[in-house]
């Protein structure tokens, strides 16, 4: 058996095309475009790449992109003051402060300062609470993108057994709650889980978000399982001095057992950015009382 490759790039392109149509409708009805403000503190190379990608996707969808690049020695007070300004700016529907932040800044303090109704990353404790209790709010973009890929591959998820490997606030916990919301039976596994392979082997759905390169092997999987690989790990490539990107799943062995699997890269990553743009559109629609026809 060879697994179906779940094409995150294609799924993200479809979602972004739907969003662009809705943005045009929104702009025609309200006289403005949704606006996303992205804040980058310092010169972390990976963060700079992410910010460029987000800005490009925002503009391509017909939205306003507001980039704020601050020096690495920016104080916590200066960053909080910028967040306050963005909270009060009517042109800004979504605020994203790129992580990680320099050591002099408390990331939790910054995240909780963002208006929860502009928190398109879905990291604010208010939005975490909304997700846990089933209230409308913003869901972190990566797990929401994973859920969309699962729904498109499997249809209804109701009654399926799901294992989420990883318990972070950004991916693992919200992913488990989303799967629970779709009536899966959910297990959260982590570094202290006893006999992890045996736990994973029971699952119809496996979401790997643990940050360890190629940890999940093919013989851990139930034949036909749907595998979503959230991991992005740099390892040494076949050529000396070159690195390559791999996931948390050993793709070579897993693709011979799984029914469907996301590749790395080209799986979850493109969906994360598409869902960020979607969240910004949803924020604008809520703030202006506009009803979306799709992409919601």
Q: What is the DSSP string of 163-219?
A: EEE---TTTHHHHHHHHHHTT-EEEEE-TT-TTHHHHHTT-SEEEE-S--TT-B-GG
- Within 10 Å of residue 116's Cβ, how many Cβ atoms? 17
Nearest to 19 by CA among 114, 146, 105, 148: 148
Residue from 18, 93, 119, 121 carrying the catalytic annotation: 121
Q: Are 106 and 74 in contact (CB under 8 A)?
A: no
Q: Are 158 and 182 in contact (CB under 8 A)?
A: yes
Residue 98 designated active-site: yes
Three-state DSSP class for residue 37 = strand
* Beta strands 243-246; 233-236: pairing state: antiparallel
Residue 109 designated active-site: no
Q: What is d(CA 290, CA 26) in angstroms, rounded to the nearest whole number?
A: 7
Rg of the chain, C-alpha, whole Å: 19
Three-state DSSP class for residue 134 = coil
Both tokens of 282, joined, read 């949803």
- Within 10 Å of residue 45's Cβ, how many Cβ atoms? 7
Residue from 18, 54, 93, 160 carrying the catalytic annotation: 54
Both tokens of 231, joined, read 């991991």
- Scanning the chain, the segments in alpha helix (DSSP H) are 8-30, 45-60, 76-87, 107-113, 125-133, 141-154, 172-181, 196-200, 251-254, 268-288
Residue from 98, 119, 153, 182 carrying the catalytic annotation: 98
Q: Which residues are catalytic?
A: 54, 98, 121
């Amino acid at each position: 058996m060879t697994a179906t490759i779940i094409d995150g790039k294609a799924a993200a392109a479809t979602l972004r095309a739907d969003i662009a149509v809705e943005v045009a409708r929104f702009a025609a009805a309200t006289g403005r475009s949704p606006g996303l403000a992205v804040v980058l503190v310092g010169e972390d190379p990976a963060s700079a790449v992410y910010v460029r990608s987000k800005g490009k996707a925002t503009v391509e969808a017909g939205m306003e992109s507001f980039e704020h690049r601050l020096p690495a020695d920016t104080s916590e007070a200066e960053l909080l003051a910028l967040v306050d300004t963005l909270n009060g700016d009517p042109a800004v529907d979504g605020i994203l402060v790129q992580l990680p932040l320099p050591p002099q800044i408390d990331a939790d303090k910054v995240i909780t300062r963002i208006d929860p109704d502009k928190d398109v990353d879905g990291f604010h404790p208010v939005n975490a609470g909304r997700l846990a209790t089933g209230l409308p709010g913003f869901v972190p973009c990566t797990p929401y993108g994973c859920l969309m890929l699962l729904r498109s591959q499997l249809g209804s998820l109701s009654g399926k057994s799901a294992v989420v490997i990883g318990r972070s606030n950004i991916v693992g916990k919200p992913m488990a709650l989303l799967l629970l919301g779709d009536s899966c039976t959910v297990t959260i596994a982590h570094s202290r889980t006893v006999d992890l392979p045996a736990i994973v082997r029971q699952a119809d759905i496996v979401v790997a978000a643990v940050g360890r390169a190629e940890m999940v092997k093919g013989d851990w999987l139930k034949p036909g399982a749907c595998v979503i690989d959230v991991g992005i790990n740099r390892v040494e490539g076949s050529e000396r001095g070159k690195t390559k990107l791999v996931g948390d799943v050993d793709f070579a062995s897993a693709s011979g057992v799984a029914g469907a699997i996301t590749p790395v890269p080209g799986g979850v990553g493109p969906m994360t950015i598409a869902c960020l743009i979607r969240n910004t559109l949803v924020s604008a629609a809520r703030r202006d009382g506009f009803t979306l026809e799709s992409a919601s």
